[in-house]
Structure 1
């Protein structure tokens, strides 16, 4: 594979630019350590020109949010005839839209919380999770249990997207299951110290514990991994990703599929890969190998 010139695409123009800058730099550094001829490209409107100018033969996508996870960069690379890491443009487009993802889960019998598309300010469930359909990193998400907070949550979420979704709030363990080349990696139990895994809990050091001791039985553990793989496949994903779920003691309710999860050395996918016995460099090389097999 080392005869390839790799372009790592990072940064970009989304609200998740800062996270992407860290992900891309970590992936770039790993590829350089592995001996790959690698270029680091900050995605902007001239990205196609930059990729051609770099002489890239394969792209490692470390973008998050709009233009990266919504399928647009993948569609452009398809037109350019360049292979790339992760899922294809269609799977990214589906997974980026929480409502489209829900529809695929329901169609493929993947357990997921009940949901509604809001048409008024009346709460559809006793406790609701209000979400913009096309945002990541927990941006604009609210958990509410009364009409006044529900109305305010809808107004705030609408600042981030014109398309909203309301889920029934399921109480249970918040779990994340990383997928790499068709295999479910060790499960991580997400334990936010203030009870809600929001943007602050996600990106403030010390606000959340991430533990591998899930307290699940062997049977439950395997079931949660199976459901995660089912969800990943239902969305049409390939290569790698991360599935978020709530386990209530009996059922594993899938919340969403992340097609381009964080890639810093402390991000959850690399943590899970490390628990499975991989170094960060080995994980990155597996992702690259997946791109070149397409």
Structure 2
């Protein structure tokens, strides 16, 4: 993706920094992280910064120490880059880094912990419960239709929608292909009919800013990993063609989730909206603390619609990290 603005970008930071872009790793979302990281690295270079690219291996701490950057841009997705592991390592090393810190990352990647944090503050989220995968072969944990998803994976990895018409069986067959074959525990939630919405939030010098609401319209099935990262499988409508009161609620809940969870830099909150139920049909599904920065990613897309070019967005995320760690 590189410099989307073309040519040399105008830097919004008062000085140039040595920025290490941490990407790749060994999570399911490795290919997405590599695309995010390469895009970020190119954008920061276009703004005049010195950039070191690092595809994370087991020697990550030694490699970062050797590079001695001013700040790490964490472009990892999934475990261990998004669950607090890398954040704790960087905290111990005393290296500033972008996006959310250890405690926030531990909570936000765990969908059940996220509910425990947000629901008491009035953020609407689906009900449901965590179940052992082996229990599914004895009977449904909640009434069909329902959604099964890993407790701590991102990018809709390992999601299954169980309906009366699904070919998983009733009860679910041990031989049926699904997340129960990959994960010991899963979160079972009631299936919410309706529309897929998402709102990005970025931290600015003046406070939080919800960028708007995108509706995701898919060609078939549901918004899974393939739809997210395959060009042409999903149409992004921004601003979403929804009533203003629903858009305002999305912006409010996204900022609320960002603030309550203690997110930094950028976050993206995903919603399901049953448009037959009005405001009562809007539910937060999850908040992503390290949303994608690929050519198909939603945060850069929303930012661009709001007049924030890609290099400036990357620098805004870096600036928030530097402010948090007291570097600027």
Q: Which interval holds the TM-score relative to the shorter structure?
A: over 0.9
What's 2:116 paired with? Answer: 103
Please say if 1:140 is aligned against 2:170: no
Q: CA deviation at 1:149?
A: 5.7
**CA deviation map 1:143-164 (0-9, x unaligned):** 1113826624997323333221
By how many angstroms is 1:105 displaced? 2.2
Query: Closer, same or farther in 2 for the Cα pair 1:77/1:168, shift >3 Å?
Result: same
In structure 2, stretches of 5+ residues that fail to align are: 1-12
Q: Map Cα deviations across residues 208-264 of structure 1 (whole Å, 9 max, x no partner).
A: 111114222222211111012122223232221110001223232000011111112
User: Which residue of 2 is the match for residue 129 of structure 1?
Assistant: 147
Match of 1:283 in 2: 313
Which range moved further: 232-241 or 150-159? 150-159
Question: How does 1:3-14 map onto structure 2 within 5 Å?
Answer: 3-14=16-27
**How far, CA to CA, are the matches of 2:322 and 2:219 in structure 1?**
41
Paired position in structure 1 for 2:81: 68
- Structure 1 residue 220 and structure 2 residue 246: aligned? yes
CA RMSD of aligned residues (A): 1.8
Is the Cα–Cα contact under 8 Å of residues 180 and 240 in structure 1 kept in the other structure?
yes
Q: Evaluate the alpha carbon distance shift between residue 34 and residue 107 of structure 1 in structure 2; reply closer, same or farther with a 3 A threshold.
A: same
Q: 1:152 to 1:61 in 2, by over 3 A?
A: farther
- d(CA) in 2 for partners of 1:24 and 1:151? 39
Larger Rg: 2
Instruction: Indicate which of 12, 32, 50 corresponds to 1:19.
Output: 32
> Aligned pairs, how many?
294
Distance 1:234 1:178 in 2: 15
Q: Which secondary structure does the structure 1 equivalent of 2:106 belong to?
A: helix
Cα shift at 1:4: 2.7
Q: Partners in 2 of 1:111 and 1:197 — Cα distance?
A: 20
1:113 aligned residue (126, 151, 156): 126
Residues 127 and 144, structure 1, Cα contact 8 Å, conserved in 2: yes
Residue 184 of structure 1 pairs with residue 210 of structure 2: yes
CA distance in structure 1 between the aligned counterparts of 2:259 and 2:160, rounded to whole angstroms: 28
